[in-house]
Each structure stands twice: as structure tokens, then as C-alpha cells.
Amino acid sequence: MSKTIWKYDPLRKRVGLRRWLMVIIFLMALGLRGYNLEVSPPGFYVDEASIGFNAYSILKTGKDEHGVSWPLYFKAFGDFKNPVFIYSLAPLLRVKGLEIETVRLGSAIWGSLGVLMMMWLGWEISGNYSFSILSGLILSLMPWHLHYSRLGFEAISLATLMIGSLAGWLRWLKKERLRMGVVVGLLLTLGFFSYSTARLWIPLMMVLVAGMEWKQLKGRVYKLWPLILAGLLIGLGLNGWLNQYPGSLTTRLNQIAIWNDNPGILVVLHRFWKTFWEHWNWRFLFLGGDPNLRHSSQVSSELLISWGALLVIGLGVIWKKLKQEKIWRLVLIMIVGFPLAASLTRTDPIATRTLQATGWFSLVISLGIWWSLTKIKQKSKILVRLMGFLIGLMIMFEFGNYYLDLQTKYPSRAGGWFDGDLVETMNWVADYQEKTRETIYLSDKIHQAYIQGLFFMKVAPEKWQMKKDIPFKVADYRNREGAGTWLVTAGECEDKESLVDLVNYCVVEER
């Protein structure tokens, strides 16, 4: 079956066309992800501001906001953020400055690189150029993946690095070249330090690929050295960090884990399975997506509805025809178990903690399309072209509707989820402070007001680290003393004459 399904490859002899298609798909992915980033998503969430300012601080001083030199993890809001995305932002900030668009552009680039990695993985799995390009196209249009490619969050880097590390591993098994082995070890290591759920997924993927190759090794265990290299690098990094900051990486998990209130084992199992199967619910995958508007536009999310039947076909093909092939067994395991990490936490179905699955869904949906076309081709070449055209038209129509909504209606729906009004107000305050040079007071009722002040006022990181010459203070508006200009919440500025009066925030002058 495997040889039959990959035999049909209309791009095999058309070298120029397939190269142009790869370039076009990459540029399309980058354009879709990079367009209008300051408007959609609306506002700027505190996690994005934290990631952006810490990357800026690393760029300017080599230290995080707390003055720690070149940290492996970044302390923020009682938790620790992962380093890969933050460090990768620093060169971009050097070129484009500390702006909302710059932080989100970092995600757009990571997401677009994921599309390239997807084409690489598609080729390594199939040896079929057309399937490879189709896999990248599906990922480039996937609402789940596209949404997080427009947010300044860490998770998008994990999705890219998991796809790339698996593609590199397959290439290593074929060629056993030293350079590729090193690349695999580094990609796995970076993947582990890219996002919190990677602490489960990267070791699990390493164990699965090693186990699947074990019988074929026949004493040649040295072939596993890229995995051993990754394990050593990860172990060294963790050992050094945890010796210095014991317990730091489990703080957040202990707060949100399904066992955090010490229930009985049956309650824990019930919570796990309930969350696990809610991720496989039709509504989460194809209709409304993540119920948090920050994580999903809730239109054709997380996958296009038109992909539903194709996903089922793809899963069926793997189960009936391809499950004897190690790589497809791995894909099947990873996609069936994709909610595993999220199900260990007390949450609704969540797109962030399951983002690593986007690559696997792309492969299976592409397989569903490819198998359907090859079956039809056996009957009629004209019919296969017609079917391909109809599938493409259906996908583009639904995607167009999704993307138009994302750019026009989603910003107004999701403004409150991103502190949308705060951005406009903070920009006004930053300009006002620059002109007057007076200290601005930020109400402590504003969520993590200090990080917003640091980001929008572009405070020099060394000044913040030394707590010296800071252009703002965070304080309780009720206990104010003397004159000053305050940025406060709407509830705090009722009946006050304001300089700027918005829905959720305003600036008031106390004279």
C-alpha cells in the first residue's frame, strides 16, 4: 500500500514548479501570519509584554528583568517562562525595536518556519514531492497554527521544533551523517526548552522513536547517539538550573494539576478522561475551538470544518494500511494522545497546551486528501483533477471566511481578552510622560501594571534592574497623596474629569 500511494507524484519531474510552490507557500504563510499584527489580535496581553520586555532586557544588558544574567528560564508573575522564544526575539528587537508588532512578528516567523519544516517532514515520510508540499499548505492554512503564529506566546516554537526534530531524525536514520545527528540533538534540546508541555512531549517522542528502532539496531546502539546527545544537554541544563532554583519548574503545575487539591485516585482519573475526550469533541476541533477568545477566534477553529471527513479518512488509512510503518505508528500515537499534557491540568479544552499536535493533524489531513485523489486517479485522470479543484475550492472558501473574520470582527469580540483599551491608553501615557517628564502613577488594579509600564514606556532595562529613574510607579489610587497623573481603571475614575476616557481605563490628573 505504501509504495502504491506514493507512486503518483505529478511534481517529481517538475523541479522548477515544485521549488516555486515551496517559496510561494512559505511567503503566503508568512504573509497570513504577519499581516496587521497590531490590530488582530487586539490589544497586547501581559504575557506578551513580559516576553517582549525580557527579550529587550537580554538584548540590552544580558540580564532578565530581575537582573539574572543569561537565565535558562525567565521568572514572571510567579511562574517561569521558557527561554527559546525569548532569546530568539532579541535579534528582531535590535532591528525593529520594542513594539507590539515586533514581538508578534517573532511568532509569525516561527510559524512560517514550521510550514517549511512540515514540507521537509512530509518528504522524509513519503519521498513524494507533491505530498510534501500539500502537507505544508495544510499547515499554513490551519486556523489553530495560524492563530498562535500571530500571538507573542512561546508555544508556537514547540510546534516548529517538534516537526523539525522528527524530520531530522528520519533523515539521520537514512544517511547517518554527523552533521544531521548534531542537528537532531540540538533541535530536540531546543524543543524541550521551548514550552512547558515539551517537558512531557520531547522525552516521550524520544522514547517512542528509540523504541521503534530498537529491533533494527542489532547491537548498533550508537545510532541513537543524537537522542543521547539531546538527553545529556537537557540533563545538564536542568541540573544546573534546579540546583540554583529548586522546585521552580513545578510551581505552576502544582497550582493547576488535576491532583492539586489531593482528591482520591478515582476523581483524578475522572478529571483526566473528561478533559482528554473534550479535546476530541467536534465543537473544539471544528466549530468553536478553545472557549478562551484569547486562544481562538471561535470561527472554523481549531481545524476547518471541510477537513473533518479528510481527517477521518486519513486516520482510517493509517489504521488499515500504514500502521505497520513505524513513522505512521508514531504519528497515530501522537495524534490520538494529543490532549495528554493538557489533561493533566484542570482546564477546559485548551489550544495552547495542545499546539504541538498541529503538525500531526496536518499530516493526517494531507494523507486523507492524497489517498482520496490516488483512488480516484485509478478510475479517471480528469476526475482526479476535478476532485482536487473542488477540494481546494471548498478549503479556500472556508479559510477565506475564517481569515476575513479574524481581521475584521474578531478584534472587537476579543478586545477584553487582550486588555485592548489599555494599549491605546498606555501609548497616550507614554507620549505624555515623554513630553512632561513627570512620574506617571499606574493603578495597582491594572493587571500586572508594572510590565505594561516597562514595555510601553520602553524603560531602559538597567534602570529597572537598579530600581532607579523609573518613569512610573504602581500604587493604590485610593491611598494617593499629592498631585500627579494617574492611569486607572474605569471604576476608579468615575465622576472624574479625565484627559483620556476609554471603556475600561482612563487617565486623570490630580491637582
Tens digit of each residue's pLDDT (9 = 90 or more) over 228-256: 999 999 999 999 999 999 888 888 888 89
Question: Could you tell me whether strands 484-489 and 505-510 are parallel, antiparallel, or unpaired per DSSP bridges?
Answer: antiparallel
Containing 58, the helix (H) or strand (E) segment is: helix 46-61
pLDDT, average across residues 166-191: 95
Predicted local confidence at residue 251, as pLDDT: 82
| Closest listed residue to residue 391, CA positions, set 463, 276, 498, 309 | 309
CB-based contacts of 189, cutoff 8 Å, min separation 6: 230, 233, 234, 237
CB-based contacts of 188, cutoff 8 Å, min separation 6: 161, 165, 202, 206, 226, 227, 230, 234
Whether 419 shows a pLDDT value over 90: the answer reads: no
Q: Per 3-state DSSP, what percentage of the chain is helix, strand, and coil (rounded to 5)?
A: 65, 5, 25
Predicted local confidence at residue 304, as pLDDT: 96
| Alpha helices for 143-250 (secondary structure H) | 143-148, 155-175, 178-192, 198-217, 225-244
In a domain, 427, yes or no: yes
Predicted local confidence at residue 5, as pLDDT: 83
The domain boundary residue, chosen from 212, 228, 246: 246
Kindly give the interhelix angle for 100-126 and 46-61, rounded to the nearest 10 degrees: 90
| Closest listed residue to residue 337, CA positions, set 213, 234, 197, 157 | 197
Structure confidence at residue 36 as a pLDDT band (50, 70, 90): very high
Q: CA 153, CA 170: separation in Å to the nearest integer?
A: 29
In a domain, 285, yes or no: no
Predicted local confidence at residue 509, as pLDDT: 66
Looking at the structure of the chain, the number of domains it has is 2
Q: CA 130, CA 390: separation in Å to the nearest integer?
A: 18
pLDDT, average across residues 175-204: 96
| Closest listed residue to residue 131, CA positions, set 368, 376, 379, 315 | 368
Q: CA 429, CA 234: separation in Å to the nearest integer?
A: 43
pLDDT, average across residues 436-460: 92
The domain boundary residue, chosen from 246, 261, 285: 246
In a domain, 388, yes or no: no
Predicted local confidence at residue 306, as pLDDT: 93
In a domain, 177, yes or no: yes
Structure confidence at residue 500 as a pLDDT band (50, 70, 90): low
Contact between residue 196 and residue 158 where contact means Cβ atoms under 8 Å apart:
no
Residue 456 structural domain:
418-510
Whether 497 shows a pLDDT value over 60: the answer reads: no
In a domain, 400, yes or no: no
pLDDT, average across residues 34-58: 95
Q: CA torsion 290→294→295→300, rounded to 10°?
A: 60
Helix, strand, or coil here: 88?
Answer: helix
Phi–psi pair at 45, nearest 5 degrees: -75, 155
CB-based contacts of 445, cutoff 8 Å, min separation 6: 477, 488, 489, 491, 492
Contact between residue 488 and residue 506 where contact means Cβ atoms under 8 Å apart:
yes
Q: CA 156, CA 154: separation in Å to the nearest integer?
A: 6
The pTM of the full predicted model, rounded to 2 decimals, is: 0.94
In a domain, 233, yes or no: yes
Cell numbers describing residue 475: 500604587
Whether 154 shows a pLDDT value over 90: the answer reads: yes
Whether 180 shows a pLDDT value over 70: the answer reads: yes
Helix, strand, or coil here: 31?
Answer: helix
Cell numbers describing residue 317: 488509512
Convert the pLDDT of each residue in 389-416 to its tens digit.
888 899 999 999 999 999 999 999 998 8
Predicted local confidence at residue 431, as pLDDT: 92
Predicted local confidence at residue 270, as pLDDT: 95
pLDDT > 70 in the chain, percent: 96
Convert the pLDDT of each residue in 289-342 to its tens digit.
999 999 999 999 999 999 999 999 999 999 988 888 899 999 999 999 999 999
Structure confidence at residue 502 as a pLDDT band (50, 70, 90): low
Predicted local confidence at residue 335, as pLDDT: 96
Helix, strand, or coil here: 242?
Answer: helix
Q: CA 33, CA 118: separation in Å to the nearest integer?
A: 16
The domain boundary residue, chosen from 246, 261, 288: 246
Question: Could you tell me whether strands 498-501 and 505-510 are parallel, antiparallel, or unpaired per DSSP bridges?
Answer: antiparallel
Whether 501 shows a pLDDT value over 70: the answer reads: no
Q: Is the torsion defined by CA of 141, 145, 147, 148 positive or negative?
A: negative
Whether 272 shows a pLDDT value over 80: the answer reads: yes
In a domain, 161, yes or no: yes
In a domain, 493, yes or no: yes
Whether 503 shows a pLDDT value over 60: the answer reads: no
Predicted local confidence at residue 382, as pLDDT: 78
